[in-house]
Structures are given as C-alpha cells and as structure tokens.
C-alpha cells in the first residue's frame, strides 16, 4: 500500500481538494415538507414562514434555502410534489369511469387542509413564478392527460381531436373540483364526483 510520501504532486493535490456538492439529505427534505403541510393546516399561508418551517422541522433556515429558493417553491412541493398523479384512473374501465375517478381523486386532493390553506397564496404567487406553473401542469395535469387521451382513443375519438378534448376535460375536472372544495363545502366526495361526472358529455 502506498503512503502519502509515495504520492506524486498531482495525486497529493487531488487528495487535498474538498469534495463539493454534498448529497442532499432526504431526511431534511421530508422533515421540511411535512412541517410545511402541518403548519399550513394549523396556521394558514401567511403564518407558514420559512422560519416557522425550519423550527418545526428542526433544521436550519439556510438548509431550506439551499433546497428551495422561496416559501412558494417549498409549499408547492409540499402540497403537490408528492402526488402519484391520477393513479386511480389507471384502472378505469371506460371513459365515463375515468372521468368519475378523476373527479373523486381531484376533489379529495383539494379537500386536504394543507392544500386548501396553501392554494390562495400559491395562486397569487404563481404569476411571479412561471416555473411553478409549468411544474404544476407537468406533475398534476400532464400525467392525467396521457391516460385520458388513451381512453379517448379507445372510445373512438380521432387522434387529431383527442388532445383538445382531453385538455377541455382536464380543465373542467380540475376547475370544478378546486372551486367545489376551496370555495364551498363538499362533505360527500363520492356523490359529488358522480354528479359532476354525469354533467360532462365528451365529444365521442
């Protein structure tokens, strides 16, 4: 085994260079995201600050800012980044079943206390963060779009019309679910999902 005395100058220099880019700790991420969700449900958007999140998570505020450039980005990931988007619709038997499942899933999502607390603040902040608008559609809308287009194809909708029809349906599902849960009071998700779904007639 060679000793430090046997190293050539370049090997010795490489050994002295500090390692940069230490791997991001998943434990810190999970603690911060959980703290954000808890605080949103308890004290709302305005009082869910980066300081409060850091204290609740037991981490330093600099650690948060190394991961998220703002509270908006952190909260966005806390309430939307964990989703397995539209997984319940993967087992849909037909287009009507897909729409009913999509309504049930989306109504349930917007009923979560942390989502209801975060949404007004996030909606106001999204105009200043186009990156988050793109992420929201990529993580929340697009996976559902892919599955919906497949169902439309099976129902006989031509390729040229499927994406337009899917976009319209997704807009109706997300918009109606958000308004129902955030601005109303929906105690029976299953019944409302079925009633809303029955009012949509895809152009098949």
Q: Where are the domains of the chain?
A: 4-80, 87-198
Number of CB atoms found within 10 A of residue 132's CB: 20
* Lowest-confidence segment of 16-25, 86-95, 155-164 by average pLDDT: 16-25
Element (H, E) at 99: helix 95-111
Measured in whole angstroms, how far is the alpha carbon of residue 145 from the centre of its chain? 15
Q: What distance in Å separates the CA atoms of residue 79 and residue 153, rounded to the nearest whole number?
A: 32
Residue 22: pLDDT above 60?
A: no
| CATH number 1.10.357.10 is the correct assignment for the domain at 4-80 | yes
Of 43, 95, 100, 53, nearest to 78 (Cα)?
Answer: 53
pTM of the model: 0.73
pLDDT for res 30: 93
Q: How many CB atoms lie within 10 A of CB 169?
A: 23
């Amino acid at each position: 085994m060679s000793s430090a005395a046997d190293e050539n100058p370049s090997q010795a220099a490489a050994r002295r260079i500090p390692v940069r880019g230490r791997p991001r700790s998943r434990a810190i991420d999970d603690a911060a995201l959980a703290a954000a969700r808890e605080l949103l449900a308890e004290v709302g958007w305005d009082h869910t600050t980066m300081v409060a999140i850091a204290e609740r998570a037991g981490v330093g505020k600099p650690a948060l800012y190394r991961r998220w450039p703002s509270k908006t980005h952190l909260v966005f990931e806390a309430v939307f980044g964990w989703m397995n988007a539209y997984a319940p619709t993967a087992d849909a038997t037909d287009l009507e079943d897909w729409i009913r499942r999509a309504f049930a899933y989306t109504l349930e999502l917007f009923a979560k206390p942390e989502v209801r607390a975060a949404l007004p603040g996030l909606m106001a902040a999204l105009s200043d963060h186009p990156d988050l608008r793109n992420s929201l559609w990529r993580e929340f809308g697009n996976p559902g779009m892919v599955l919906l287009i497949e169902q439309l194809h099976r129902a006989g909708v031509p390729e040229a019309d499927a994406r337009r029809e899917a976009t319209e349906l997704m807009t109706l599902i997300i918009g109606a679910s958000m308004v129902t849960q955030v601005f109303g009071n929906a105690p029976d998700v299953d019944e409302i999902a079925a009633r809303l779904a029955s009012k949509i007639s895809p152009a098949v």
